[in-house]
Amino acid sequence: MTLTKYVFIQDEGALLTKVLDKYLRDYADSTAGINLQPITQAKKTFLQTLGDFYRIYGPVYFFRKCWQQGWCKVMGKVVNDLMGSTKKCYSIRAVARKYGVPVTGPCDVNSEEFLAHLREKGVEFIVSISGTQLYKKKLREQTKYGIVNCHGALLPKYRGLMPSFWTLANGEKEGGVSVHFVDAKLDNGPIVVQKKYRIWAHDTLEDVMARSKDLAAECILECVRVVEDAAARGVECPVMENDASKLTHFSTPTAEDVRRFRSHGHRFS
């Protein structure tokens, strides 16, 4: 059974373009649209988010990341927009254009206007990839086969922000990706797919984030297959418990957390 799908994805050009490309390669024909979500977290403004990143990463890595994102923006405008090439995509919009999938800009996905847009498109299933919004009750209830979210950690541990950083800061020997159904609480719903990867002492944050995004694409594809198979057979989707009694939750790191991250031999890049 093929469900009509919609993707919510953070508007980031360096890593998420590859994840979206792998997803659309298999599911572009049944994806009604893609909603871009800003990089800001919770209720913070863009400048507040940048300030947090500067305090965490320090000037060298912070400006490297800004340069990387700026380069993607410029190349996206020149190569993807002006030249019309999608051989190499530098933006989420370019990937969507490559597969002919319409894009909606940043908006409140819980608004009545956007809910009506999803109903008009006949959306039955939503895939959130590094989404930055909370998905409220009305949105969840009108999406027949649910909303799944891709989280870069082995849930129920490492709920919340920046899971790759916290996994390294706490000296873990393995990390992973979980794709879970969305419910009323953050990173709380039952898990559909979960995969692990090994962490080495020489791994940088860049290494782990790249590995996590590669694995995320695999997990998302498998999750869609599982959900559609269950829908076709008219049975409940098989899930694993996201045990709240074992959860750990993390937010924005402090300077002490960064020192602990470095004490394990890890670097940002």
Q: How far is CA 29 from CA 3, 6, 48, 54, 117, in A?
A: 10, 11, 38, 40, 18
The DSSP H or E segment spanning 7 is strand 5-10
- Per the confidence metrics, is the pTM higher than 0.85? yes
65-104 per-position pLDDT tens digit: 999 999 999 999 999 999 999 999 999 999 999 999 999 9
92-135 per-position pLDDT tens digit: 999 999 999 999 989 999 999 999 999 999 999 999 998 889 99
Break the chain into its structural domains and give their ranges.
5-263
pLDDT of residue 12: 85
16-28 per-position pLDDT tens digit: 999 999 999 999 9
Q: The CATH number of 5-263 is which of 3.40.50.620, 3.40.640.10, 1.25.40.10, 3.40.50.170?
A: 3.40.50.170
Q: Over the chain, what is the mean pLDDT? A: 95
181-239 per-position pLDDT tens digit: 999 999 999 999 999 999 999 999 999 999 999 999 999 999 999 999 999 999 999 99
Per DSSP bridges, beta strands 159-160 and 31-37 are unpaired
pLDDT of residue 39: 81
pLDDT of residue 42: 61
Q: How many angstroms separate the CA atoms of 20 and 34, rounded?
A: 10
Contact 143, 127 (CB under 8 A): no
For residue 39, what are its two tokens? 């990089």
pLDDT of residue 108: 94
Query: Quick check: helix, strand or coil at residue 128?
Result: strand
For residue 113, what are its two tokens? 């206007």
